[in-house]
Amino acid sequence: MSYQSIMKEENESILERYELSMERIQLIAEGENTLQAPFKDYFLRVATFFMEVKEVSDLVQTDELKNCSMEELKAFNKKLYFDVVGEAYETSYANPAYAVKLLGTEYGQVLSFLYTEIRGIIAYAYENRLFDITITAELFLEIYNIFEDEEETIYKSIKSAIYYYISDYSDVTINRRNLEMLDPQFSFAVDIIMNQDVTDLRYLYLFGEYISENEIKIAEYLNHLSQDKIDAMAHTYTEGYRLGFENYRIDLSKKEVVNVRYPVGFERMVKAAITQFAAMGLKTTIYRAAVSSIHKKQHLKIGFHSTSANKQYDYDHRFDQALYLNKALNDRKLAVAKVSFESMKDLAAKFAGPAVIEVFGETPFAPISKEEALTLSDKQQKLTLEYQRDYGILSNDYLKNDEISFTIIAYPIPEIGAQFEEIFDETVKVNTLDMDLYERIQKNIIDALDQAEYVTVTGRGRNKTNLSIQLPKLSNPEKETNFENCLADVNIPVGEVFTSPKLTGTNGLLHVTEVFLRDLNFIDLELNFEDGKIATYTCKNFEKEEENKKYVKENVMYQNETLPMGEFAIGTNTTAYVMGKKYNISSLLPILIAEKTGPHFAVGDTCFHMSEDMRTYNPDGKEMMAKDNECSILRKTDMEKAYFNCHTDITIPYHELGDIIVHKPNGETIDIISQGRFVLPGTQDLNIALDTLNVR
């Protein structure tokens, strides 16, 4: 059954409820609004927004939207995203600070949440999902009626309505999310990519995402490239995916579905990739980054998405679940997820894993922490961690980590500046470096590291890093290794060797003067490790130390009281480092590339999360042994204590790096890097790129 047929059947079953709710909301928008100030204006503006979305929905239902002119499509996009863009956000009810100012703390927070949840109907309208629009509209009307009735317990009644809206419909919403990932019939985005003329940029406005100059200019740029170059870019991406299965000795022939996650504007490359995946026997699924709070993971966008209309808006609503999260809801979501996975276990068994395209180059974002925004209580923070842990264990029963793979690649977007085209070409070069050369160089580094009892890493200049990293002891060094020789397969570009360090005995300070992690800026980030776990942490983003610690805990620790060092790696891609310095974009590089430009340390789970027992080998035939640490090994006795469901890489760039020294059990040492330069025999070629910058 096609996506259109699925939606037609679903829409017919809900049409009467949809029409009734729209008729009632239209009356509110037209002025039949009996509420008094300050709530009268809120419901009028939100009802008007519903009618603006309905205008698009009507065109989608009749299949007329794609026939609209570029001017008409742009007008729809501007109208629907207007009040969260730029200065307009300051007087938008989506802004919790503005909502609280006008409506009071309790009502301001809850009604700002409601409007943000309602804004998700933009996506539903373009996807022709009348069910989702209808249940959202019915929630809006229910809350409007609560205000009309002037109950003494208005606030309590509103929270109750929202809770049961989230809970009661979770069996539908969670199941739909899984289907979008696993079932190629849910092909909304794939249909646009494969069936629309991507040289006619009107297609960009059919997704329902906010369309900025980034999306338009990247699409225009890709349209000017030859088909051979587009195919080559796609091949780097799809071949990396295939090599992931080959290198980890997973049988790709048993799989049928790949989930593509990408930024809007890259459709020409994605179209070529879909064709190449099909040649491997894989059908493509593409789902949208979450628009409902029940599916969101803080401010992050996982799925197809455009440039954010407003990153502060995303950040303000990162903890909207605080309005309704409790243990009963967690239990229901897990029960629903289990039923959902069980109902589609055959699809899950054929799922090959995600293939991700990331972008970089957006203007750096330093968020404002607003006291009016919803935040998780201590109890809710604990519930969030418990849910992530339990959901991770549950999903691994169906989407087994040791039976799937992935790949990630990144490209710049036009917002990076006037040299965008040069930077894009340089990134293509970085993504296609000689893997054979890097394999040989990295083998020399691994051979030295495998002699280590521990490794020391120090900073220089303003960087205060002073770490001692303990390594597991190899029982058979002739056939075993502690470090993986990472080439350009699942993790493009080439250029790192990595391990899971031994926690006991791993101590010291990790410090970076500035780093961007998941689109957020950190100034003077410091993590102190004791026996491999974070003991203290801070940064200097805010004047108050309390705010700095809260910022790190939320966005690096993910609410955990501590995290282990899950990875120690040495990045070897000096070409990528030079690109960053040459174009002054080092701070804009995504972690995918940045982690290859110096030693990096991941906090959270190891790289082998839930696939530790899968045997893997380096190109020289040695088996990778260091897959567990003292936390992950608990999976054999107490699964609930083994994993943290996060993995954040933090890189020390070469210009902040002092020395990396191998310390052997007999007291001898081997220098790998000295004052930011490679000195180990067999690695000096990596300094050629550094010499172009005269890095010393």
pLDDT of residue 517: 87
pLDDT of residue 37: 86
Q: Residue 340 and residue 353: Cα distance in Å, rounded? A: 18
pLDDT tens-digit profile of 139-169? 999 999 999 887 667 899 999 999 999 999 9
- 230 closest CA partner among 200, 274, 260, 263: 274
- Please state whether beta strands 623-624 and 351-360 pair in parallel, antiparallel, or not at all (unpaired): unpaired
SS3 string of 360-422? ECCCCCCCCCCCCCCCCCHHHHHHHHHHHHHHHHHHHHHCCHHHCCCEEEEEECHHHCCCHHH
- 219 closest CA partner among 234, 204, 239, 240: 204
Helix locations, 225-366, DSSP H: 227-247, 267-279, 311-316, 327-343, 345-349
pLDDT of residue 520: 83
Q: How many CB atoms lie within 10 A of CB 542?
A: 15
Query: Does the structure show a pLDDT above 90 at 369?
Result: no
Q: Residue 631 and residue 566: Cα distance in Å, rounded? A: 9
Q: In Å, how far from its chain's centre is CA 393?
A: 20
Query: Which segment of 299-308, 353-362, 467-476, 686-695 scores lowest on mean pLDDT?
Result: 686-695
Bridge partners for 415 per DSSP: none
pLDDT of residue 303: 95
Region 401-415: mean pLDDT is 93
Q: Residue 107 and residue 115: Cα distance in Å, rounded? A: 12
Query: Does the structure show a pLDDT above 50 at 530?
Result: yes
pLDDT tens-digit profile of 673-695? 999 999 999 999 999 999 988 64
Percent of the chain scoring above 90 in pLDDT: 85
Query: Which segment of 280-294, 337-351, 390-404 scores lowest on mean pLDDT?
Result: 390-404
Q: Residue 208 and residue 196: Cα distance in Å, rounded? A: 15
pLDDT of residue 479: 96
User: What average pLDDT is seen over the chain?
Assistant: 94
Query: Does the structure show a pLDDT above 50 at 696?
Result: no
Containing H/E element for 648?
strand 647-651
pLDDT of residue 490: 78
pLDDT of residue 693: 81
pLDDT of residue 361: 92
Total H helices, total E strands in the chain: 23, 19
249 band by pLDDT with thresholds 50, 70 and 90: confident
Structure-derived torsion over alpha carbons of residues 650, 654, 658, 663, reported in degrees to the nearest 10? 70
Q: At which residue do the structure tokens 């890189």 appear?
A: 651
Region 208-216: mean pLDDT is 97
So where are the chain's domains? 3-168, 180-409, 458-690
User: Which of the residue ranges 23-37, 268-282, 582-596, 617-631 has the most confident prediction, judged by mean pLDDT?
Assistant: 268-282
pLDDT tens-digit profile of 17-35? 999 999 999 999 998 878 8
Percent of the chain scoring above 70 in pLDDT: 99
Region 580-586: mean pLDDT is 92
Region 315-330: mean pLDDT is 96
pLDDT of residue 614: 84
Contact (Cβ atoms closer than 8 angstroms) between residue 270 and residue 262: yes
Q: At which residue do the structure tokens 């000195």 appear?
A: 679
Query: Does the structure show a pLDDT above 50 at 500?
Result: yes
pLDDT of residue 122: 98
pLDDT of residue 694: 63
pLDDT tens-digit profile of 72-103? 999 999 999 999 999 999 999 999 999 999 99
Q: At which residue do the structure tokens 């922490």 appear?
A: 369
574 band by pLDDT with thresholds 50, 70 and 90: very high
pLDDT tens-digit profile of 468-479? 999 999 999 999
pLDDT of residue 695: 47
489 band by pLDDT with thresholds 50, 70 and 90: confident
Query: Does the structure show a pLDDT above 50 at 644?
Result: yes
- 469 closest CA partner among 503, 510, 444, 446: 503
